[in-house]
Amino acid sequence: MFKSTTYNFSRTVPGQAALFLRNYYIYFVLIAVIAFLSLANLDRFELFERGNFLYEKNIINILRVSAPILVLAGAFTLLMVSGYIDLSVGSTMGLSAVIYAMLAINGVSFWAAFSITAVCGALLGAFNGLLVVRFKITPVIATLITLSLFKGIALLLVQDGVSAIKSMGDLRMPQWFNDYGREGVLMGLPMAFWVAVGVTVVLIVLQNRSLLGKYAAATGGNPTAAKLSGINTSMIVFVLYAIVGMSAALAGIARASFMSLGDPLSGDGMELTAILVVLIGGTAFSGGEGKVLRSFIGALIIMTLTLGMLTLVPAYYQTLVIGAVLLGAAASNHFISRKDHAS
């Protein structure tokens, strides 16, 4: 490794094919997954018929269900690019869902409830940032602590005897609560999906055109060098945690709207999905490398695969498939990045 960088500069430049593969393989994977799923049931249904994968309503449904992970993937990528991780996103989601549902059921208007929840999410994320940056706790431990903490708070907010905030007795969920995640506003897709697209676009711009993106990559690539060249890495990390917290809150809102209840456990396991999606997107776990857009595509792949699989095999295959995909993605990440060291 040292030899190739020291003596042979031409070898560090990857070949055309390797570069193309590295930049675009994710799209091929998505196309392959879609092609596989739409052809798998062809013996029973027509290509665009009800029951087949490419049936319009089915695609809309998959995108609707994917809104939470789509809105979260971008911010999570930026955080991982800077070399940090947040395991508390699932609990942040659950807590935000509860807060949002409580506000909605008590008659707060949509925009107020939405912004209050988003701010709460940012604060929860900032709390993570505080533990990591100020108290210098290792990210994994710090966010394991808050995973437990936020989940506990969310469970306490829901009164005893009920499992989630929902319409009960006189208290009714307003209509907009459910519409946000389900009712199509543009091309048959709901607000929640378009918010996810909007957030992703903003983050892509942030990553490619702003100092935040540049500094995040610098922090992840070589923290010491970044610090020495005058970057306030603590500030960058703190801001990134806040952004992840806010995205997790938006994910919680999307999930709460879709299920039309504020379930404190609705985000459980989201940290795994987020890690999976970001890895599939080719982000290096050690930091320094990764693209928001690729994670977005990675999220589409995972959701397509998990939901599409349901038409082929029973639901209890899901964990196995996701685990295998995670290992496969990690291994292929390894081989692809090794390839451009070698070629």
Q: Are 261 and 182 in contact (CB under 8 A)?
A: no
Question: Residue 122 to residues 158, 225, 277, 305, 341: CA-CA distances in angstroms?
Answer: 21, 28, 22, 31, 38
Q: Which of 18, 54, 102, 137 binds other proteins (CB under 8 A)?
A: 137
Binding test (CB under 8 A) with other proteins, winner from 35, 310, 327, 342:
327
What amino acid occupies position 14? P
Q: According to CB under 8 A, which one of 47, 112, 141, 168 is a site residue for other proteins? A: 141
Q: Residue 233: which residues within 8 A CB-CB, separation 6 or more?
A: 215, 219, 223, 226, 227
Of 5 and 210, which CB lies nearer to other proteins in the complex structure? 5
Strand partners, 52: 50
Minimum separation from the CB atom of position 321 to other proteins (A) = 7
Which among 29-37, 40-48, 215-223, 325-333 is the span making contact with other proteins, rule CB under 8 A? 325-333
Q: ∠ CA(77), CA(78), CA(82), 5° rounding?
A: 115
Under 8 Å between Cβ of 248 and 125? yes
Residue 287 Cβ, how far from other proteins at the closest point, in Å? 11
Nearer to other proteins, 69 or 231 (CB): 69
Instruction: Give the number of other Cβ atoms within 10 Å of residue 289's Cβ.
Output: 15
Examine residue 151 and tell whether it contacts other proteins (CB under 8 A): yes
Residues 256-315 that bind other proteins (CB under 8 A): 272, 275, 279, 285-286, 314-315
DSSP secondary structure letters along 83-118? T---TTHHHHHHHHHHHHHHHHHTT--HHHHHHHHH
Q: What minimum distance in Å lies between the beta carbon of 106 and other proteins?
A: 21
Smallest distance from the beta carbon of 185 to other proteins, in angstroms? 35
The residues binding other proteins (CB under 8 A) are 131, 135-138, 140-141, 144-146, 148-149, 151-153, 155-156, 160, 272, 275, 279, 285-286, 314-324, 326-327, 330-331, 333-334
